[in-house]
């Protein structure tokens, strides 16, 4: 953990590793997803709109190089960032012909200020060939895989229309881990039908896997989604800020201390957000979480009870760090202390499908 934050934050990790401010640049490669192109479904996950959680830059005709160029000058000015991670975010970025994917990754890595990639995708969309390709890039660059899990409860994955199982996620983690690529897992708090205990079980499940980072998202309602219908029918209600803060803090407490936290708040598009409106206040939400954890003496790993499956080679270890790597953060030991489990239970809304 770094500074005064009660969790291990991503910016500090990148800064220690590269010796300067490194900023992620969100890219839209114009790909699709099996949950949209008809292979698994056409409507997508219940919370996803037509942009596939992306920027829509590809539809505007911007190439990867153009997207990088314009974001770099903005981020260099705003954050004094010197290096960048190219984040393939929209849709499923390992889903497509291998040669097309390779050329997209190469285009991003060709930028002299790009130190690596973050490749966002579904766990059921990652072939051995794509992993081989990304493993080859990892000899010279930092390559993160970002898998959307959302919940470790299969019935929830059915409810939200994910189209993959928890086991397919675990399989992707094992295959990625064998190649020494670091893994970031996306989870969502406040999914329909989930209790607080369901969400904490997702944290316990992840705590036992060889992953290196998480992104914890708030479920918010976006225009043009099935979730918007459920919300308007009154069959889905959003978490309050206090509930989210309490759940996110507890989630962090159950994770091992070495897991990097890449995200703790949602980042809704103002014109697309339906509810909750408090989701727009990113800084305020983060501050509320820090205040809550500070006042109660909570911190990441406080309730973690050992047992993480370790990869044969730690993807964040110095020997696998690759060129450009500075100081690498080692794994911290298990934390101790903490009290018994208190079952937090609030989200019990049953969605009406129809």
Is residue 301 at the binding interface for ligand SF4, with CB under 6 A as the rule? Answer: no
Binding segment (CB under 6 A) for ligand SF4, from list 3-11, 48-56, 73-81, 226-234: 48-56
Residue 10, SS3 per DSSP: helix
Q: Which of 72, 122, 215, 258 touches ligand SF4 by CB under 6 A?
A: 122
Determine the interface stretch with ligand SF4 among 47-55, 74-82, 240-248, 316-324 (rule: CB under 6 A): 47-55
Which is nearer to ligand SF4, 148 or 192 (by Cβ)?
Answer: 148
Got the DSSP string for 300-340? TTTT--S-PPPPSS-TTSGGGS-TT--S-------------
Kindly give the interhelix angle for 98-109 and 64-79, rounded to the nearest 10 degrees. 30
Contact characters 85-104, ligand SF4, x per CB under 6 A: ------x-------------
Binding segment (CB under 6 A) for ligand SF4, from list 28-36, 219-227, 230-238, 244-252: 28-36
Q: Which stretch binds ligand SF4 (CB under 6 A): 44-52, 178-186, 245-253, 281-289?
A: 44-52
64: exposed, middle or buried (Cβ count in 10 Å: 0-12, 13-18, 19+): buried
- The answer to whether 53 contacts ligand SF4 (rule: CB under 6 A) is yes
> Which window, 46-54, 56-64, 78-86, 209-217, contacts ligand SF4 (CB under 6 A)?
46-54
Residue among 5, 17, 36, 302 that touches ligand SF4 (CB under 6 A) = 36
Choose which of 35, 55, 118, 159 interacts with ligand SF4 (CB under 6 A): 35
Query: Which listed range, 4-12, 42-50, 195-203, 219-227, lies at the site for ligand SF4 (CB under 6 A)?
Result: 42-50
For the segment 141-170, give every residue that binds ligand SF4 (CB under 6 A).
148
Residue 44 binds ligand SF4, judged by CB under 6 A: yes
Query: Does position 351 bind ligand SF4 by CB under 6 A?
Result: no
Burial status of residue 280 (CB atoms within 10 A of its CB: 0-12, 13-18, 19 or more): middle
- Minimum CB separation of residue 190 from ligand SF4 in Å reads 15
Say if strands 221-222 and 273-275 run parallel, antiparallel, or are unpaired: antiparallel
Contact call for residue 58 and ligand SF4 (CB under 6 A): no
Q: Is 215 in the site for ligand SF4 (CB under 6 A)?
A: no
Q: From CA 284, how far away is CA 344, in angstroms rounded?
A: 23
- Any contact of residue 217 with ligand SF4 (CB under 6 A)? no
Give long-range contacts, CB 8 A cutoff, 24+ apart: 236-243.
Answer: 236/192, 236/349, 236/351, 237/349, 238/190, 238/275, 238/276, 239/189, 239/190, 239/276, 239/346, 239/347, 240/276, 240/278, 241/276, 241/278, 241/285, 241/288, 242/288, 243/190, 243/346, 243/347
In the complex, the smallest distance separating the C-beta of residue 127 from ligand SF4, rounded to whole angstroms, is: 16
* 265 binding ligand SF4? (CB under 6 A): no
The least CB distance from residue 71 to ligand SF4, in Å, is 21
| DSSP letters spanning 256-311 | -TTSEEEE-S----TTTEEE-GGGG-HHHHHHHHHHHHHHHT--TTTT--S-PPPP
Q: For binding to ligand SF4 (CB under 6 A), which residues are involved? A: 33, 35-36, 44-45, 48, 52-53, 91, 122, 148
């Amino acid at each position: 953990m770094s500074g005064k934050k009660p969790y291990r934050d991503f910016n500090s990790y990148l800064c220690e590793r590269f010796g300067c401010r490194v900023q992620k640049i969100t890219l839209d490669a114009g790909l699709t997803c099996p949950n949209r192109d008809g292979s698994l479904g056409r409507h997508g996950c219940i919370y996803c709109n037509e942009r596939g959680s992306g920027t829509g830059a590809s539809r505007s005709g911007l190439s990867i190089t153009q997207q990088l160029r314009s974001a770099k000058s903005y981020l260099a000015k705003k954050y004094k960032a010197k290096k960048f991670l190219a984040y393939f975010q929209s849709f499923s970025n390992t889903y497509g012909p291998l040669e097309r994917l390779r050329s997209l990754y190469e285009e991003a890595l060709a930028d002299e200020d790009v130190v690596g990639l973050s490749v966002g995708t579904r766990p059921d969309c990652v072939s051995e060939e794509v992993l081989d390709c990304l493993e080859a890039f990892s000899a010279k660059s930092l390559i993160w895989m970002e898998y959307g899990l959302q919940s470790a409860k299969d019935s929830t994955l059915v409810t939200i229309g994910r189209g993959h199982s928890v086991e397919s996620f675990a399989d992707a983690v094992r295959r990625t881990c064998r190649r020494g690529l670091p893994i970031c897992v996306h989870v969502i708090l406040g999914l329909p039908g989930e209790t607080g205990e369901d969400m904490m079980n997702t944290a316990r499940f992840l705590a036992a896997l060889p992953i290196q980072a998480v992104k914890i998202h708030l479920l918010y309602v976006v225009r043009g989604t099935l979730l918007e219908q459920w919300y308007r029918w009154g069959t889905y209600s959003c978490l309050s800020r206090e509930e989210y803060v309490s759940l996110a803090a507890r989630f962090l407490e159950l994770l091992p201390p070495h897991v990097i936290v890449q995200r703790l708040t949602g980042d809704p598009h103002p014109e697309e957000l339906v509810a909750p409106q408090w989701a727009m206040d990113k800084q305020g939400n983060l501050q509320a979480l820090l205040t809550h954890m500070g006042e109660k003496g909570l911190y990441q790993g406080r309730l973690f009870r050992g047992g993480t499956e370790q990869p044969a080679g730690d993807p964040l270890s110095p020997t696998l760090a690759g060129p450009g790597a500075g100081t690498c953060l080692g794994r911290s030991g298990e934390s101790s202390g903490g009290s018994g489990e208190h079952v937090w239970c609030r989200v019990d809304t049953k969605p009406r499908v129809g």
